[in-house]
Amino acid sequence: MAVADFIISLLTFIAIYSLFGIGLNLKFGFTGLIDFGHVAYFMIGAYVTVVLTMPAGAAGYSGIGGFALPELLGALGPLGSLLGWVLGVLGGMIAAALVSLAVGVPTLRLREDYLAITALGIATILTTVVNDEEWLFNGPFGINTIHTPLRDAFPLSLGGFTLNMVVFGVLSLAAFGLTGYWLVRAFQRQGRRGKIVFGVIVPLIAAWYFVLPTLSGGMVELTRNALWLFDPTAGPDGGMDYDRFVLLLSVAALGGGYWLVERTINSPYGRVLRAIREDEDVPRALGKETFQYKLQALMLGSALAGAAGALWALNIGFIAPDQFAATITFYAFTAVIVGGTANNKGVILGTAFFWGIRNGTRFIDVPSQYSIQLAAARLMLIGVVLILILYYRPEGLLGEQDYDIPLPSRDASGGTDDA
pLDDT of residue 336: 93
Query: According to the model, what pLDDT value does residue 417 have?
Result: 47
| Burial annotation 238-266 (CB, 10 A radius, 16+ → b, else e) | bbbbbebbbbebbbebbeebbeebbebbb
**Distance of alpha carbon 253 from the chain centroid:** 9
Round to whole Å and give the CA distance between 28 and 22: 10
Predicted local distance difference test score (pLDDT) of residue 373 = 73
* Residue 326 near residue 124, CB atoms below 8 Å: yes
Q: Residue 2: what pLDDT?
A: 62
CA angle 177, 178, 182 (to 5 degrees): 115
Residue 144's CB is within 10 A of a number of other CB atoms, namely 17
Predicted confidence at residue 402, as pLDDT, reads 72
What tens-digit pLDDT sequence spans the chain (419 residues)?
566 788 888 889 999 999 999 999 999 999 999 999 999 999 999 999 999 999 888 878 888 877 889 988 887 877 888 899 999 999 999 999 999 999 999 888 877 778 888 889 999 999 999 999 999 999 999 999 899 998 888 888 888 888 988 998 899 899 889 888 877 887 777 677 667 767 777 787 787 777 777 777 777 778 888 888 888 888 788 888 899 999 999 999 999 999 999 999 999 999 999 999 998 999 999 999 999 999 999 999 999 999 999 999 999 999 999 999 999 999 999 999 988 889 998 899 889 888 888 877 666 666 666 666 777 777 787 788 788 878 887 888 777 877 766 666 554 444 544 43
Q: What is the pLDDT of residue 371?
A: 66
Alpha-carbon span 346 to 201, nearest angstrom: 17
Identify the H or E element spanning 310.
helix 290-316
For residues 74 and 58, give the distance between their C-alpha atoms in angstroms, rounded to a whole number. Answer: 18
Q: Among 269, 268, 293, which residue's Cα sits nearest to residue 280?
A: 293
The residue ranges of every structural domain in the chain are 3-153+241-324, 161-227
CA distance 33 to 56: 39
Q: Do residues 249 and 13 make contact, with C-beta atoms less than 8 angstroms apart?
A: no
For 359, residues 6+ apart whose C-beta sits below 8 A from its C-beta are 9, 10, 13
Nearest CA among 8, 21, 5 for reference residue 348: 21
| pLDDT for 236 | 83
